[in-house]
Amino acid sequence: MSQSEVLFRRFKNDGIAELKLNPLQKLMKVEVDKKVKTGIYQFEVVDCAVCGSSSNDVLSEKDRYGLFYNVKICRECGFVFTSPRMNQESYNTFYNVEYRKLYGGLEHANETFFIREVEHGRRIAKLLESHEIFLDRDKLVLEIGCGAGGILEAFRQKGMRVKGFDLGEEYVKYGKDKYGLDIEVGTLADYKLDHKPDLIIYSHVMEHVLDTNSEIEMISAICHENTIVYIEVPGIKSIHLNYEKNLLKYFQNAHTFHFSLNTLSNIFCLHGFKLLYGDEKIRSIFKKESCSQSIKNDYFETLKYLRNQERFRTFYLISPFGILKMLNKRLSNLFKLMRSALGSKKQSKC
């Protein structure tokens, strides 16, 4: 496959969305397209962040919203990344203005979103504990990309001190004003506290970072010898679990990198972090220890996986997994309707 080819024909940049967009998402798509076409959003070309190679193949030219999105896979190590991509200034504006509305179809943070994030935080804590990582009360938990702070709230309820940063002003304001969380607008570079955190969380954030190597270096600088680093990203080898075997539903323009467990381990190992646990979803636990493994090339394995998912994508809905997921979704929607009806009934009685 030459660098000018796209892996699958339906991944050509035709502006057609793979998802069904609500009115707010459609509006945001128009706004982003306009800023791209007029040059308000600037783009930059980059090479592989893991091995530095410029030898790559094109996987896609668009994302699930139908926005321009050029995704490549490195031939030398198999790392999947976006290039050209928005520069940091453009991404900062995009995250603050359009991202949350485009991604979630929500104008502002709300209680449902916050409670869902609290539950997510409890799942993270449970995963850590299942691997014998226990945090005592008063330990410091730092989260980068904390949104409204729901994940941090789960750890605060366990008696831990928390600190968070996020680029979304409205979401930060929600967590600060309603829950009194110690969160602020910013990135890891804005962390100025004297105390080194005991746990650092990046939940669905590392795929958004433009300079992963610099980010991991900053993480390393604030770690003490027992600091645990939890990284959770959408795994490119988990689209059969979360995206109905549909790679186009996985791709979104906010993601600059697309990790497998191998490529995530590769880049963290370069900076002296050892993988303690990980799966392809990806939920992973790292600790600062000597790491002597060489870079493992994930190119052929990743391409084989993606081709297989595309080949069998149309059979997903009649597969046992697809049927089970559809039933769970319908039951979930039914329960939501029942809760809504009960709530309306209670209000009418008041």
Q: Are residues 162 and 221 in the same domain?
A: yes
One domain, residues 82 and 195: no
Query: Residues 86-128: pLDDT tens digits?
Result: 999 999 899 888 988 898 766 667 888 899 999 999 999 999 9
Owning domain of residue 41: 9-105
Residue 103: predicted pLDDT: 86
Residues 147 and 16 in one domain: no
Residues 170 and 314 in one domain: yes
State which of 105, 133, 149 marks the end of a domain: 105
Whether 343 is in a domain gets the answer no
Q: Report, as an integer, the average pLDDT of 155-173.
A: 93
Query: What's the whole-number mean pLDDT along residues 141-158?
Result: 97
Q: What digits encode the pLDDT tens for the residues 217-260?
A: 999 999 999 999 999 999 999 999 889 899 999 999 999 999 99
* The predicted structure's pLDDT at residue 340: 60
133 and 76 assigned to the same domain: no
Asked whether residue 98 is domain-assigned, the answer is yes
Interval 149-157 mean pLDDT: 98
- The residue out of 105, 136, 160 marking a domain boundary is 105
Same domain, 79 and 116: no
What is the reported pLDDT for 273? 96
Same domain, 84 and 224: no
Residues 126, 85 share a domain: no
Q: Categorize the per-residue pLDDT at 339 as very low, low, confident or very high, splitting at 50, 70 and 90.
A: low
Q: What would the pLDDT profile of 308-333 be if each residue is shown by its tens digit?
A: 999 888 887 666 666 666 666 667 66
My answer on whether 52 and 197 are in the same domain is: no
- Three-state DSSP string of the chain: CCCCCECCHHHCCCCCCCCCCCHHHHHHHHHHHHHHHCCCCCEECCCCCCCCCCCEEEEEEECCCCCEEEEEEECCCCCEEECCEECHHHHHHHHHHHHHHHHHCCCCCCHHHHHHHHHHHHHHHHHHHHCCCCCCCCCEEEEECCCCCHHHHHHHCCCCEEEEEECCHHHHHHHHHHHCCCEEECCHHHCCCCCCCCEEEEECCCCCCCCHHHHHHHHHHCCCCCCEEEEECCCCCCHHHHCCCCHHHHCCCCCCEECCHHHHHHHHHCCCEEEEEECCCCEEEEEECCCCCCCCCCHHHHHHHHHHHHHCHHHHHHCHHHHHHHHHHHHHHHHHHHHHHHHHHHHHHC
Domain boundary among 105, 126, 152: 105
Q: How far is CA 206 from the centre of its chain?
A: 7
The model's pTM: 0.86
| Tally of structural domains, the chain | 2
Assess contact for 228 and 287: CB atoms under 8 A: yes
- In this structure, what token pair is assigned to residue 342? 């009960």
Shared-domain flag, residues 164 and 285: yes
pLDDT at 350 over 60: no
